[in-house]
Amino acid sequence: MDFTPVLQPVFHALWYLAPLLLLSMVLKSPWFKGVFGEWLVNVMLKVRLPKQQYHLIKNVTLPTEDGTTQIDHIVVSCFGIFVLETKNMKGWIFGNANQKQWTQKIFKHSSKFQNPLHQNYKHVKTLEACLNVPEGSIFSVVVFVGDSTFKTPMPDNVTYAGGCARYILSQRETLLSEEQMHDVIEAIENGRLARSFKTNREHVAHVKQIVVEKEQANHCPKCGSNLVLRESKKGGGAERKFWGCAAFPRCRFVKPAESSL
């Protein structure tokens, strides 16, 4: 029996649905969310910041001692240099400036992510090493886009997309001369790696390697179990914090709390 006449409408339906399913997967991917977030901030900056006073440089990859660091946006003006890190996230966001990790909560699910201020600190320090500018003329700005809500008080330089331009415009003290601005822009353009697929691929590989090294550092070198922060009582009631193996008492590996994971 020939099923072709019966299945032909199904094949036609799948032919039209396949591109839609592929598009849906792309739109939900972390890559697209990152690209869309950066595009949204880029549009906001171009619309809100006067071109005569503010120079925007996008997607800057700079070499570092251990690899590369990638900066979403740099805004150069006589009022300072603004280094922007973009986060496209949803849900509730908990954190403060000093915490190593912040928390994202979506309904009952909670997850940790690196404090973006700490992440942007490396960008700022890399720029400081490249540029000959007065101390205090580089500002770190973290911009959240997407359907997220801060549930804890955030510093002024952590803002939503609509507030990043407002924060930049709020800095009105002249810190750089026209000549210094020109030198800064030239130094960044000359020092950045070429914008290419190869540059981006190598940077992504470098970031993945850092993640792997951190994950390995958070595991017991003897048995591979997670390390847990614990406290013990010294003589006189003093407390001592240390990293201990989660498999205790089967494994008794310990590491001083001062040792970073």
In a domain, 13, yes or no: no
Tens digits of residue pLDDT in 87-114? 988 899 999 998 889 999 998 899 999 9
Higher-pLDDT residue of 40 and 215 is 40
User: Which residues are registered as beta bridge partners of 56?
Assistant: 75
Neighbouring CB atoms inside 10 A of 85's CB total 23
In a domain, 99, yes or no: yes
In a domain, 188, yes or no: yes
Mark whether 81 and 148 lie in a shared domain: yes
Mark whether 87 and 201 lie in a shared domain: yes
Tens digits of residue pLDDT in 140-159? 999 998 889 999 998 889 99
pLDDT category, 217, cuts 50, 70, 90? low
In one-letter notation, the amino acid at residue 208 is K
- Residue 234's pLDDT is 60
Cross-sheet strand order for the sheet of 254-256: 227-233, 239-245, 254-256
Lowest average pLDDT, out of 33-37, 124-128, 131-135, goes to 33-37
pLDDT (average), residues 209-213: 44
pLDDT category, 226, cuts 50, 70, 90? confident
The number of domains in the chain is 2
pTM for this entry? 0.67
Q: What is the mean pLDDT of the chain?
A: 79
Tens digits of residue pLDDT in 44-61? 899 999 999 999 999 898
Mark whether 202 and 228 lie in a shared domain: no
Mark whether 147 and 115 lie in a shared domain: yes
Mark whether 209 and 186 lie in a shared domain: yes
